[in-house]
Amino acid sequence: MDTKLNFFVVLTLVSIQFLSTFPKAAVSNVHIVYMGEKENEDPTVTKMFHYKMLSDLLGSKEAAKSSMLYSYKHGFSGFAARLTDSQAKEIEAFPGVVQVIPNQVHKFHTTRSWDFMGLNDHSTTNLLTKSNMGEGIIIGVIDSGVWPESESFNDRGMNPIPPHWKGICQEGQLFNSSNCNKKLIGARWFVKGILDQSQTPINISNGEDILSARDSSGHGTHTASIAAGNFVVNANYEGLAAGLARGGAPRAHLAVYKVCWSFGHGGCTDVDLLKAFDKAIQDGVDILSVSIGISIPLFSYADQRNSIAIGSFHATAKGITVACSAGNDGPTAMTVENTAPWIITVAATTIDRAFPTAITLGNNLTLWGQSVDTRMHNHGFTGITFSDRIALNNSDDSALGCKRGSLNATLAAGQIILCFSQSSTQNIFSAAISVAEAGGVGLIFAQYRSDGLESCHYIPCIKVDYEVGTQILSYIRKTRSPIAKLGIPKTIIGKWVSPKVADFSGRGPSSISPTVLKPDIAAPGVDIIAAYIPFGAEKSSGFALLSGTSMSCPHIAGITALIKSVHKNWSPAAIRSALVTTASQKGTDGSNIAEEGSTRKVADPFDMGGGVVNPNRAIDPGLIYDIETNDYVKFLCGTGFSSKSVSGLTQTKANCTKNRLNELNLNLPSITIPYLKRKVTVSRKVTNVGPVESMYKAVVEAPQGVNMKVEPQILRFNKTTQIVPFKVTFFTTGKVYGDYRFGRLIWRDPKHTVTIPISMRAIFV
């Protein structure tokens, strides 16, 4: 990201309310009168101006002095005062006042995604505390490096470096061994591949990248802090999403492997990726988080260009759990990436936090969009126009979406511009540049419903959907001199139904191995606040809001660290099974989780795998679907690879003529049948990890048009029997070709519900 980030200090006030002793008197509550950027650098002058404004409202200096709590005069201009509702409305119309915000009682909370999933650090019963916050576990992050000075990587409260760590803190430009500590225990960088690819040296003098593990893009810093960042109080992004920041496993250790570079055309090459996997295995990491992917069409698992599949296979064979992002090319089908069956592939969802922003029109109608731009816009009511009305060239429709160079600067100057995106390739950031270059002072960007907010930096901008955009356009067309006022974003929690699968999240089925359900699991990945590299002369507070499956992947890595801390001997497949079989398919309101794609339908396994991760249930799944390394070898043979190809991938002497596994029978915590011809029987086996003496009954939710039969229907476990096989037979009842249909197979005992998703498509020959 090459844009400049500014971060403001936002003071949270303790709500104070004074009730009048006279029953008819108006009640005064604390309000924040926000005035945006300071007009005077002298804080004394700014404070006097605040008192003068309040005196004019209340009628005397004494009343103003009694009413005011704080004068904000350093980071921004404004004050907090006790006002009645009518006084608040009156002062909002004063010149220079951007917005009057009623005070609210705030409490410290996580940067939301972890509390949203039930991992509150104050609880004594959830996975976070049961696992000692991931103590003793090492998470490796293969990404763009790290900003070691970030407060998220402080080592307060950290235990000594685990004895199984064998790695180093590799020195380089602006990075030495002292940058590592008990939290950030290792750092390496791999650049040979990208240097060879670009055929040009890095120009370190102009800062296009840094020849060390130091992060120059912010992506790696963000993902690492999501997975295992330490506690940071008062974290925020421009005053939004304020709270206590921490990673999923705040007591786990971090090792970073820089393979992604910004110079030239940028990217992460296969040779560098493979070297990172190789070193991570050698160093002794327990978990790897890889928010990197390759685009469609995918390479086979035995192709050296699929370095993530190859590297992760070797890591998995050594007992290292690998979590990867599902890709950001959704909501189109077959866009999921990182589809190897030994990888945990992670989709992205929303959480219950939003940043609503008011748009007040001249007819007193207030409409709502979303924004993360808290910068000043102290112009109050300002002229607003539709971009198509101020097109530089009326012969095309480029002005409709505010493409660069499409607006008439004379007509745009001083105006708020309403633009309509016409495709997914147009974005609010590029439109803001266009409006700013034309002299506009604000942007309202109407687009199809999509997830993730982006700061415009240059001018305040608000994203709205087409419905709100059309309402604003109707007002503009009906009014001779339309005006509008843009509000300041607010942070609101718990008011929206959530989670929803993000529109950008890569969707299944897998284009390269359709019998393997991908993604496996979903986790928060929209507007996630986490550590970031500092930008600008003012040096930001070091946090940013980003969206993508890059953000959901380290959530799973962090949760995996917590599970691994409790169940040290569980295999990567066992951990994946625990996550998938205990996942949730319900939202906060009890309804089925939806997806924010073009149809906004109920989410299915191709959108979210088993569902949205439920960490506190995953610690005690009851049963697990385990897989050994040799099972993957047999699976590869069964999918048609030659002995030579499989041997090259697995570095074993594979004999595919003798050792083949029907690809439908790989012991995944899911069943996917892309071609159901009348009747198919699938084998699975489960391992009991609950009470020794246990009994589970099968509950079948068959896909539409399919009959299912489970044998046996009851699974019994005791001291001598802890692994039990079963078979599921599917019979199609339809007589026409159909698309995929979905169902579930559930094993239940009095305490556990062990659920696997089923996906199948019937064909007739």
CA distance 395 to 397: 7
Find, among 240, 235, 239, 271, the residue nearest to 250 by Cα: 235
Q: Cβ of 287: how many Cβ atoms within 10 Å?
A: 32
3-class state of residue 683 by DSSP: strand
109 is catalytic: no
DSSP 54-114: HHHHHSSHHHHHHHEEEEE-SSS-EEEEEE-HHHHHHHHTSTT--EEEE-------BSSHH
Q: Under DSSP, is residue 500 helix (H, G, I), strand (E, B) or coil?
A: strand
Contact 348, 548 (CB under 8 A): yes
Number of helical (H) and strand (E) elements in the chain, helices listed first: 18, 38
φ, ψ of residue 440 to 5 degrees: the values are -70, 155
Listed in order, strand segments (DSSP E) in 499-565 are: 500-501, 521-524, 528-531, 543-546
* Residue appearing with tokens 């071609």: 675
Q: Are 650 and 316 in contact (CB under 8 A)?
A: no
What six digits make up the tokens of 347? 């989709």
Specify which residues 458 forms β-bridges with. none
Distance separating alpha carbons of residues 269 and 197, to the nearest angstrom? 8
- Distance CA(721)–CA(187), nearest Å, equals 45
Choosing from 31, 50, 219, 457, the catalytic residue is 219
The angle formed by the CA atoms of residues 728, 730 and 733, to the nearest 5 degrees, is 160
Q: Which entry of 28, 115, 143, 217 is annotated as an active-site residue?
A: 143
Q: Phi then psi for 245, rounded to 5 degrees?
A: -90, 145
Q: Exposed/middle/buried for 547, CB within 10 Å: 0-12, 13-18, 19+? A: buried
- Which among 517, 635, 499 is positioned nearest to 577, based on CA atoms? 517
Query: Which residues are CB-neighbours of 515 under 8 A, at least 6 positions away?
Result: 663, 664, 666, 672, 673, 674
CB 475 within 8 A of CB 363: yes
Of 150, 550, 571, 647, which one is the catalytic site residue? 550
Q: What are the E-state strand segments in 1-48? A: 17-18, 28-34
In angstroms, rounded to a whole number, what is the distance separating the alpha carbons of residues 123 and 129? 7
Dig out the tokens for 130 from the structure.
């049961």
Cis peptide before 482 (omega within 30 of 0): no
DSSP β-bridge partners for residue 290: 142, 324
Q: Which residues contact 316 (CB under 8 A, 6 or more apart)?
A: 322, 342, 343, 572, 629, 632
Yes or no: say if 735 and 764 are a contact pair by the CB < 8 Å rule: yes
Is 550 tagged catalytic?
yes
Rg over CA atoms, the chain: 28
Query: Is residue 555 within 8 Å of residue 111, measured between CB atoms?
Result: no
Is 143 one of the catalytic residues?
yes
Q: Is 741:722 a contact under the CB 8 Å cutoff?
A: no
C-alpha 624: how far from its chain's center?
27
In DSSP terms, 245 is beta-bridged to 232
Residue 177 to residues 148, 168, 382, Cα–Cα distance (Å): 11, 8, 54
- Whose CA is closest to 450, among 466, 430, 470? 466
d(CA 474, CA 63): 44
Residues marked active site are found at 143, 219, 550
